[in-house]
Amino acid sequence: MTESELLVLRSLSEHLDAVLSLATAPTPVTTMAPSDALGLTLAANIYAKLAVPPFHNSAMDGFLVHHADFNGPGPWTFPVIGDIPAGTDVRTPRRGAALRIMTGAPVPEEPGLAVVPVEHTNIPRGPQSLPSSVTIFTAPKPSAHIRMRGEDTAIGELTVAQGTRIDAATIAALVSTGNATVPVHQPIRVSILATGDELDRQIPNSNSPMLAALCQSQGAQTHVLPATGDTPAALRAALEAAKGSNLILTTGGISAGAFDIVRELLSPDVWFGQVALQPGKPQGAGTFDGIPILCLPGNPVSAFVSFHLFVAPLMRALSGQVPQGLDERPQLMASAACEFHADSKRDRFIPVRIKYGTTPQAISSHRSGLGSHFVASLAGVTGLAYLPHGTGTTAIGQPVRVLLV
């Protein structure tokens, strides 16, 4: 690479900033039940309408007693005057007596009570008829084994912050705090267009289904357009079908070849140029009829890497999330299972498989290392080994930074 070529290269961070600037507004807001909102993004802060737990309750199967009844040396024997199964009304034992209680059963909100686990008594564990008495071998501390109302979350407390992507754990938090419906941003609609006369004639079009699956993993709805040939008329017709989308992705047609017509058709509304990145140096970013459009390289590994570096952050911004910088994304330090060679001018992202153990290992997805056309070797890839430019060779056993994908 010559010095003149280096001068026109965008840095990785510069291109990411340009891409994120396309997210001028997130998708519109709708309201739905948390169980229907998996993968969507909260459009407002959500506060607890119910306390968690909603009432004092027992953390153990055992016996509800008064702490003050444990006088002198043990063991202590008390009459058992009833049961408190989970789901029944609250009951208070009289002084000098015990109530058998189940995990989750309500406990009165009054001081001086405690639950003694059945393991600390002479009563066997498991289903039993109600005993007439119980002998307790260990005196409980005040309030022992009682979950207090609101000790996790109080009414009015912030439960989930705006911009959170809803996952299974978030659904549980929203439902448990009484939020029957929540405001969320509508799913992103992404149109995907692969270009090139060779697709499905000479080589299979793997880019479109790959990108569709990656977008769907981010919670998007996808519209895969038929691959188009290398003519401006065919490309324009295909892009017209993408109107109504929140984001358009194209692959191929952005280099300097005689038939690279994506660049020809979309300039000057789309910036085309080179990014200091390998694989994925040719990139395009801009708008088509006001819709954000990212133009990715046609080589499948380049498209895969470009998705994770640029498309996914833009999708997060369009869905109402705060986009993450490179240092904020999920990542780990792994031990290199093979040599990794950095480039002198461009940052390299090499697809790897992580083998987890005491020390995670990063294994290159292909025996020959990096190749933008090694699409068959993407199977099982779980990370991208990040080799900043000019950092030389990472030897076997040395630490290598891996972005998780």
* Residue 1 is assigned to a structural domain of this protein: no
State the pLDDT at residue 376: 76
State the pLDDT at residue 267: 82
Distance CA 162, CA 63 (A): 43
**Same domain membership, residue 80 and residue 124:** yes
Q: Is 304 exposed, middle or buried (0-12, 13-18, 19+ CB in 10 A)?
A: buried
* Residue 135 is assigned to a structural domain of this protein: yes
HSE at residue 204, side-chain half, CA atoms within 13 A, is 5
Note down the domain range covering 178. 30-48+155-185
CATH number, domain at 44?
A: 3.90.105.10
Whether residue 261 is predicted with pLDDT greater than 50 in this model: the reply is yes
**pTM for the model:** 0.86
State the pLDDT at residue 323: 87
**Same domain membership, residue 272 and residue 203:** yes
Are the C-beta atoms of 207 and 194 separated by less than 8 Å? yes
Residues 12-57 have pLDDT tens digits of 999 999 999 999 999 999 999 999 999 999 999 999 999 999 999 9
Q: In a 3-state reduction of DSSP, which class is residue 146?
A: strand
Whole-number mean pLDDT of the chain? 91
Q: Assign 1 a pLDDT band (cuts: 50, 70, 90).
A: very low
**Same domain membership, residue 285 and residue 230:** yes
Overall average pLDDT of the 201-214 stretch = 87
Q: What are phi and psi of 76, to 5 degrees?
A: -125, 135
**Same domain membership, residue 179 and residue 40:** yes
Percentage of the residues of the chain whose pLDDT score is greater than 70: 93
**Same domain membership, residue 160 and residue 44:** yes
Query: Which positions ≥6 away from 2 have C-beta within 8 Å?
Result: none
Distance CA 152, CA 272 (A): 51
State the pLDDT at residue 397: 96
Residues 347-403 have pLDDT tens digits of 999 999 999 999 999 999 775 555 445 677 888 999 999 999 999 999 999 999 999
* Residue 178 is assigned to a structural domain of this protein: yes
**Same domain membership, residue 265 and residue 253:** yes
State the pLDDT at residue 258: 46
Q: Name the least confident of 92-101, 141-150, 237-246, 286-295.
A: 237-246
Q: Assign 186 a pLDDT band (cuts: 50, 70, 90).
A: very high
Alpha-carbon distances, residue 404 vs 12, 58, 148, 371 (angstroms): 18, 41, 39, 19
Residues 101-132 have pLDDT tens digits of 999 999 999 999 999 999 999 999 988 899 99
Q: In a 3-state reduction of DSSP, which class is residue 140?
A: coil
- 182-185: strand order across its sheet: 29-32, 182-185, 41-42
**Same domain membership, residue 193 and residue 164:** no
**Same domain membership, residue 286 and residue 195:** yes
Please indicate whether residue 102 or residue 237 has the higher confidence score (pLDDT): 102
Overall average pLDDT of the 220-233 stretch = 85
Cα separation of the two ends of the chain:
30
Overall average pLDDT of the 195-203 stretch = 67
**Same domain membership, residue 390 and residue 347:** yes
Distance CA 270, CA 268 (A): 5
Overall average pLDDT of the 252-273 stretch = 78
Q: What are phi and psi of 160, to 5 degrees?
A: -140, 135
- Look at the chain and report how many structural domains it folds into: 4
